[in-house]
Amino acid sequence: MSKSDSTRAQRIKTKSLERREQKKLKLREEILSAATELFLEHGYEKFSLRQVAEEIGYSPTSIYLHFKNKEELLFMTTLEGFRNFGQMLQTAYEATNEPFERIISIGRAYVKFALEYPVHYRLMFMQDSDFIYKQLPDCDGSIIDSFAILQKAISEALEAKVIHGQDELLLPTLIWAYVHGIASLAISLPEISKEHAYDMLELNKVILISGLKTS
Amino acid sequence: MSKSDSTRAQRIKTKSLERREQKKLKLREEILSAATELFLEHGYEKFSLRQVAEEIGYSPTSIYLHFKNKEELLFMTTLEGFRNFGQMLQTAYEATNEPFERIISIGRAYVKFALEYPVHYRLMFMQDSDFIYKQLPDCDGSIIDSFAILQKAISEALEAKVIHGQDELLLPTLIWAYVHGIASLAISLPEISKEHAYDMLELNKVILISGLKTS
DNA sequence: TATTATACTTAACACTGTTATTTTTGTCAA
DNA sequence: TTGACAAAAATAACAGTGTTAAGTATAATA
């Protein structure tokens, strides 16, 4: 057999493999999108693999060819939420140059995300931590960066002496706790409306101005 | 038959009924304590009625003679936690007469409870709200009072003009969000230690002094 | 066309909460 | 003490769950 034959055969083989892999990837995406839909609709508690399988028209065991188990599927489902989250915070960071206003901007974006994607937020920061931390090693670093943005903004505000404080880690974590508290309380308790949450955020800003700002 | 006979028969009947009811109540308590133990040990996710049944040596269906369903049993299990919680806040309230210090004291007690009883706290304020709110009508008012204590302390601080602010509801809810944020973040994320949480609480106090206090 | 790897399904296991039905137990009056 | 009756408890069953091992089609390769 000639050299060109050999390469053609090789090309066909490669293309074939590629086609099959894309088909597999397509099914994976189908599972993922069905899972996301069902998860957002029915929530964490009622989310089931068998229901996802029924939705896409495959047997439940087929899902295991694409995901290790239910936990991983659910995690991959929220990964999109994580990316959205990071992007929203980044945009909020870039929205202004004034260091203090930046922190406020990030906080607002944080709460906005939580209230717009409560099901995702719940899974990300309110559910059992194991859930996230067990899978973190296997995925890109699009998660930890979220906190890093806030931390950076606060560091810069400290350096610019716009706010006062000493600890590099304690203050970011505390401010994180502030917005997380507002967000998660609003998600958990029905009597706290979105407006109420945003009002709290506004009052929080006033307090932080007196409590943190130098000027 | 004489009158005394009649009353004796009645007395026996009453006593008998009483005895049976106490026996029933005792089993109920047995279920409750086994449930609490298993719940605290294995957490919400792994808690199962059948395991409780096995623990007490009865068939699973027997539990339904004492509790409407799993949800109610779990709720009754946390009721004790709620009572502890309310009492801790009340004690914290009474610990000092200085209005601002009172708020700080309550906040500290709040976080302390959350860190000491994380499983209870999770069920109380981090789990699906429906869980609590569906059962609230059927039980005594030992729950709502928890927030009332904080609200009262803040109202008094406002009246005494020790702190400034206007809204009667917004500020208490925000301060609740502060402590809840610190507590729930510490519970959810393994990298936040108890000491870290208490340090945050301390820094929070410093900020609140500048941000809220008048003097 | 036969072989072999891949995709997929079936069947099964060990669980779950919950309900209807049946059995056991204990109490009461005759 | 026996028979009727009510309460307590157990069995069996239903409809689900996640997950694994084993089997069957399907499609690619030699």
Give residue-wise pLDDT tens across range A20-69: 889 999 999 999 999 999 999 998 989 999 999 999 999 999 999 999 99
Of residues A129, A180, A192, nearest to B190 (C-beta) = A129
Nucleotides, chain C, CB distance < 7 Å: 6-11, 15-21, 27-29
The CB density around residue B87, as the number of other CB atoms within 10 Å, is: 14
The pLDDT of residue A141 is 61
pLDDT band at residue B169 under the 50/70/90 scheme? confident
Q: Which residue of B has its CA nearest to A124?
A: B188
Closest to B194 (Cα-Cα) out of B183, B205, B208: B183
What is the arithmetic mean of pLDDT over A88-109? 96
Q: Which of residues 50-69 of A touch strand D (CB under 7 A)?
A: 50-51, 60-61, 64, 69
Residue with structure tokens 């519970």?
Answer: B187
Residue A117 has pLDDT above 60, yes or no: yes
Alpha-carbon span A146 to A83, nearest angstrom: 9
Please state whether B108 falls in left (phi above 0), alpha (psi between -120 and 50) or beta. alpha
Domains of chain A (ranges, CATH numbers)? 1-67 (1.10.10.60), 71-215 (1.10.357.10)
Nearest CA of chain A to the CA of B28: how many Å? Answer: 27
The predicted pLDDT at position A169 comes to 86
Q: Is B60's CB less than 7 Å from nucleic acid strand D?
A: yes
**Dmax (CA) of chain B:** 83
* CA distance between the termini of chain A: 82
> What pLDDT is attached to residue A207?
93
Q: How confident is the model at residue B174 (pLDDT cuts 50, 70, 90)?
A: very high
pLDDT tens readout for residues B118-165:
999 998 888 866 677 777 666 666 666 788 999 999 999 999 989 887
Does residue A5 or residue A152 have the better pLDDT?
Answer: A152
* Residues β-bridged to residue A213: A163
Q: Which residues in A108-142 are b (16+ Cβ under 10 Å) and which e? A: bbbbbbbbebbbbbbbbbbbeeebbeebeeeeeee
Percent of chain B whose pLDDT exceeds 70:
83
Nucleic acid strand D within 7 Å of A37 CB: no
Give the DSSP letter string of B57-94: TS-GGGGGGT-SSHHHHHHHHHHHHHHHHHHHHHHHHH
> Residue B157 contacts by C-beta under 8 Å, 6 or more apart in sequence?
B99, B100, B102, B103, B163
User: What pLDDT, on a 0 to 100 scale, did the predictor assign at position B109?
Assistant: 97
- Name residue, tokens 């006593």: B15
B61-116 confidence digits (pLDDT tens): 999 999 999 999 999 998 888 888 999 999 999 999 999 999 999 999 999 999 99
**Selected residue of B174, B180, B191, B194 to mutate for chain A interface (largest A Cβ count, 10 A):** B174
Higher pLDDT, B141 or A92: A92
The terminus-to-terminus CA distance of chain B in angstroms comes to 83
* C1' of nucleotide C16: residue with nearest CA: B48
pLDDT band per the 50, 70, 90 thresholds, residue B12: low
CA distances from B214 to B158, B159, B162, B165, B201 (A): 10, 12, 6, 10, 20
Can you give the distance from the CA of residue B3 to the C1' of nucleotide D2 in angstroms? 28
User: In chain A, what residues touch B182 (CB-CB under 8 Å)?
Assistant: 174, 177, 181
**Across chain A, what does the average pLDDT equal?**
88
Closest partner CB to A178 (pick from B125, B129, B178)? B178
Q: What residues approach strand C to within 7 A at the CB?
A: A 20, 24, 27, 57-62, 65; B 9, 12-13, 16-17, 19-20, 47-51, 60-61, 64, 69-71
Which residue's entry shows tokens 């009353």?
B7
Tally the residues of chain A: 215
Task: Name the residue in chain B with its Cα closest to that of A131.
Answer: B188
The answer for residues whose C-beta is within 8 angstroms of residue B162's C-beta and 6 or more apart is: B98, B99, B100, B213, B214, B215
> What pLDDT score does A5 carry?
45
Q: Give mean pLDDT, residues A90-96.
A: 96
For residue A3, name the pLDDT band (cuts at 50, 70, 90): very low
Name the residue closest to the C1' of C27 by its CA.
B16
Task: Give the CA A45 to C1' C8 distance in Å.
Answer: 28
pLDDT band (50, 70, 90) for residue A138: low
Predicted pLDDT of residue A2: 40
Q: How far apart are CA A182 and CA B180, in angstroms?
A: 8
Average pLDDT on A95-122 reads 95
Rounded to 10 degrees, the C-alpha dihedral A151/A159/A109/B168 comes to 100
The per-residue pLDDT for B102 is: 96
Q: Own/partner pairs for A169-172, CB < 8 Å, 24+ apart?
A: A170/B196, A170/B199, A170/B200, A170/B203, A171/B203, A172/A147
Q: What percent of chain B has pLDDT over 90?
A: 61
pLDDT score recorded for residue A80 = 82
Q: Is the pLDDT of residue B2 over 50?
A: no
Cα-based distances in Å from B187 to A151, A208, B184: 21, 25, 5
Whole-angstrom Cα distance, residue A81 to residue A119? 10
**Residues B56 and B37: beta-carbon distance below 8 Å:** no
Q: How many residues does chain B have?
A: 215
Residue A120 amino acid letter? H
- Of the pLDDT bands very low, low, confident and very high (cuts 50, 70, 90), residue B204 is very high
Alpha-carbon Rg for chain B, nearest whole angstrom, is 23
Assigned token pair, B194: 């108890």
Taking a C-beta distance cutoff of 8 angstroms, is the pair A184, B184 a contact?
A: yes
Largest CA distance in chain A: 83
Q: Which residues pair with A163 in a beta bridge?
A: A213
- Distance of alpha carbon B117 from alpha carbon B126, whole angstroms: 13
